[in-house]
Amino acid sequence: MKISGLMAKVFAGCVATGLFSGACAQPYPSKPIRLLVPFGPGGVGDITSRAVTQKMGEAMGQQIIIDNRPSAGGIVATELVAKSEPDGYTLMLLNNTNAVSAAMFKKLPYDTVRDFAMVSTLGAFSLGVLVSPDSPVRTLKDLIAQANASPGKFNIGTINIGTTQYLSAELLKSMAGLDAVTVPFNNTAGVLTALRGNNVQVAFEFLPPVIGQIKAGGLRAIAVTSGTRFALLPEVPTLAQSGLPGYEVTSWNGIAVPAKTPRAVVERLNKEIRAAVDSPQIRSRFQELGVEQNVSTPEGMRKFLVDEIAKWNALIDKAKIQRQ
């Protein structure tokens, strides 16, 4: 079969760039893209990914659909992406919980590093230690006193086992010597409902999705988990400043694709992520939420992930937290 000169050039261009689908009929992307988010709607991962992917979709001429798949440690969504076709149409919101899970769980149905091609990190953010507005707990000292007054009956709410929020609570319990129960929920809404109903007395949650409620008085932050104070809540101390020297937990998220995804597709996605995050609209949205912009190269994200897994392994060992 003979190929015309023009068709030969088009095919050669497709092969060279990797930006093709099927039989090189259309450039990438030629259909909607799906991003799996391992959390329920309303959390920081959901909010930031929706903002960034909407901007990316506009630039790429294709919709990027958010598919929320909450589960313990993000395992369900992560396994699904790891086993998906490496064609650039299934993306993963990789995040600090994936690093935590790699350290926390003895066995996973995928390799967090080898089974993915990294694209770029998106942002970094802190967690807050939250109570209801009418709670008598106003400081870490109050929290410890109340927990010690009711051993085994003081409940701390987080989202699922294996998440950053869950391990942050476990780290607090270990460092402060608390006899408290960590109660996991499927999503942020469940945690906050339990907190307001006094089914849990304290909650650990990322600050971006709850900052509005804190500012409005619907929640009270008694401390933040980062090494420095949160810019939007300068009056709230860190846990280290509150009496737990050495306590520091921050989180991050980014986008990855299945391993063996063509390099040209990874580079196209990286380019679009950088442009989206650097746009005035996303800059403004991130600032409103208290999310620090943090894009990277694919290689930079891979090194960062490896380092984060090593950090969490060391923290779990030092705090003697039981692996699942």
* pLDDT tens by residue, 273-299: 999 999 999 999 998 888 989 899 999
Q: What is the mean pLDDT of residues 237-256?
A: 94
pLDDT given at position 73:
73
Q: How confident is the model at residue 80 (pLDDT cuts 50, 70, 90)?
A: very high
Residue with tokens 């090189």: 24
> Hunting for tokens 């609570």 — which residue is that?
169
Question: What is the CATH code of the structural domain delimited by 5-124+251-319?
Answer: 3.40.190.150
Q: pLDDT band for position 5 (50/70/90)? A: very low
Please state, in angstroms and rounded to a whole number, the distance separating the CA atoms of residues 68 and 38.
6
Domain with CATH 3.40.190.150 in the chain: 5-124+251-319
Answer whether 86's CB lies under 8 Å from 256's CB: no
User: How far is the C-alpha of 239 from the C-alpha of 237, rounded, in Å?
Assistant: 7
Task: Please check the confidence at residue 269 and state whether its pLDDT lies above 60.
Answer: yes
pLDDT over 50 (residue 9): no
Q: Give pLDDT tens digits for 180-197.
A: 999 999 888 899 999 999
Spatial distance between the Cα atoms of 225 and 249, rounded to a whole number of angstroms = 5
Average pLDDT, the chain: 89
Mean pLDDT, residues 220-239: 94
pLDDT digits (tens, 9 = 90+) for 157-176: 998 887 889 989 999 998 99
CATH 3.40.190.10 residue spans of the chain? 126-242
Residues 6 or more apart in contact with residue 240 via CB below 8 angstroms: 227, 246, 247, 248
Identify the pLDDT of residue 17.
Answer: 47
Distance CA 170, CA 163 (A): 11
Q: The domain at 126-242 falls in which architecture?
A: 3-Layer(aba) Sandwich (3.40)
Residue scoring higher pLDDT (16 or 31): 31
Confidence of residue 107 (pLDDT cuts 50, 70, 90): very high
- Structural contact between residues 183 and 191, judged by C-beta atoms closer than 8 angstroms: no
How far is residue 190's CA from residue 193's CA, in Å, rounded to a whole number? 5
